[in-house]
Chains A and B, each alone.
Chain A
Amino acid sequence: MTTGAPRVVKGARIEHVVGDPNLGPAKDHAYGLQIVRGALASLQTAVEGPHLFDPLNAQPAPTAQQPA
């Protein structure tokens, strides 16, 4: 967060950021997809400064965000 990067999205773990092999293939895939969707949702969200997005507690993806 303190790199100044405005959109920071929570992943799983350093060793496997987008997904978790411990969940088994099906749940790993669902988790990874959720993280990527969360990341894409952050690209649609206006932010003022560094903001942490949590794909597991995501707001519904905005449909018609006005550019800042």
Chain B
Amino acid sequence: MNAPRKLRVLHYLNQFFAGIGGEEHAGYPAEVQAGAIGPGRLLATMLGEDHAIVGTVVCGDNFFQEERERAVAVLHQALRDLKPDVVVAGPAFVSGRYGLACAEVVKIAQEAGVPGVAGMNGENPAVPMFSRDIYIVGTGPSPATMEPALRAMAKLVIKIGNGDEIGPAADEGYLPRGSRKLGFRDQPGYQRAVSMLMQKLRGEPFASEVPYQPVEKVIPAAPIGNLANATIALATTGGLIRRGNPDRQPASNSRSFLRIDVKDLDALTPTDFDAYHAGYYNGIAGENPNYILPLSYAQELKAAGEIGAVHATVYALAGVSTPVAECRRMGAEIAQDLVAAGVDGCLLVAT
């Protein structure tokens, strides 16, 4: 931790909080005003005598979006002229355009070597876009919560300006940035569980230690128009291996997948193939591997003309205790293969 020093703070405000006017002045051109203005004055008192707001960049919300180059130029000039140690933007509460501008200002300053903090409500649309890149202090939804918002922002601004180590999101008041770290809490888990339950039962606010993370949005591939002409590939995470496991595939924590040539095979036979997967009983699939990779059915449907062709390569790994990052990589590699081969569809069997 560096020795605390007198920090020079640059503030960013939109036209409304700078006192210029409302929506009708959203095109207000970016400019720098001396010292603190509007809520910046309250922020300055919270920062204390040791630190000073040396200037405020004021910019209309529309101007920032529509004349970004000019706005950014003003910001860069302010960084050069005023030499702030740290930048603070907002708070923007739930205002979308203002939130975006605040986040971008902090990000740009960061890229120019000046750390910063933005303040806005957790529901602000700028949050999912920027929370991984910059520190965003979570605020209430409306300017009625200006004071606690500024207080939280001031605290974090001083720490960041001093280069202090920044602790967990819940402690330091910023919105989670997407990473998690191990640590020890004050109480053992069993006590925290019962305490959290009592808070929930009493209707008191509580903080889940693992917040809900919504599912990744996957864009569905367009449907196959004519199945009778289609080439279908088969893949499995059921741990299909060549019998005897000459490829030395692990039963879990897979880092690589098998490509198996099935061009001349009508079905997977137990003499040549097996199942090796640490997460389910392998005996049944070992006796009939088509249960986890339905080659026999695919070939049958091809012979019957219901599909055009069975892709000559099948893909296999044991999908248990596999880190998600590895899954993403392997999935992308398999997809690359299939796209290069002109495959139309793929059946992935999971266990």
Contacts and interface: CB of A to CB of B under 8 A. Distances in A.
Query: Touch between A and B in complex, CB under 8 Å?
Result: yes
Given A33-B300, A36-B347, A65-B223, A15 B285 contact: yes
Task: Name A's interface SS.
Answer: loop
B220 A49 contact: yes
Nearest to B346: A43
B218 A5 contact: yes
Given A19-B291, A43-B227, A36 B345 contact: no
Interface residues of A, number: 36
Contacts of B262: none
Contact of A37 (B287, B292, B301, B351): B301
A42 B238 CA distance: 21
B215 A3 contact: yes
Contacts of B281: 15
Interface string A1-34: 0111111000100111111010000000000110
Contact of A36 (B220, B221, B294): B294
B110 interface: no
Contacts of A5: 218
Given A16-B284, A19-B291, A44 B349 contact: no
A45 to B, nearest CB: 6
B334 to A, nearest CB: 14
A3 B214 CA distance: 10
Interface string B294-322: 10111011000011000000000000000
Given A36-B347, A46-B222, A21 B284 contact: yes
B232 interface: yes
A16 B293 CA distance: 10
A18 B294 contact: yes
Given A19-B291, A40-B307, A14 B351 contact: yes
Contacts of B272: none
Given A4-B217, A21-B284, A36 B223 contact: no
Interface in B263-305: 280-281, 283-285, 287-288, 290-292, 294, 296-298, 300-301
A7 B223 CA distance: 10
B222 A40 contact: no
Contacts of A52: none
B201 interface: no
A64 B227 CA distance: 10
A17 to B, nearest CB: 5
B282 to A, nearest CB: 8
Interface of B: 215-218, 220-225, 227, 230, 232, 238, 280-281, 283-285, 287-288, 290-292, 294, 296-298, 300-301, 306-307, 344-345, 347, 349-351
3 smallest beta-carbon distances between A and B, as pairs: A6-B220, A67-B222, A16-B291
Given A16-B288, A61-B227, A67-B225, 10 more contacts: A3-B215, A4-B217, A6-B220, A17-B238, A17-B349, A17-B351, A21-B291, A43-B223, A50-B218, A67-B222
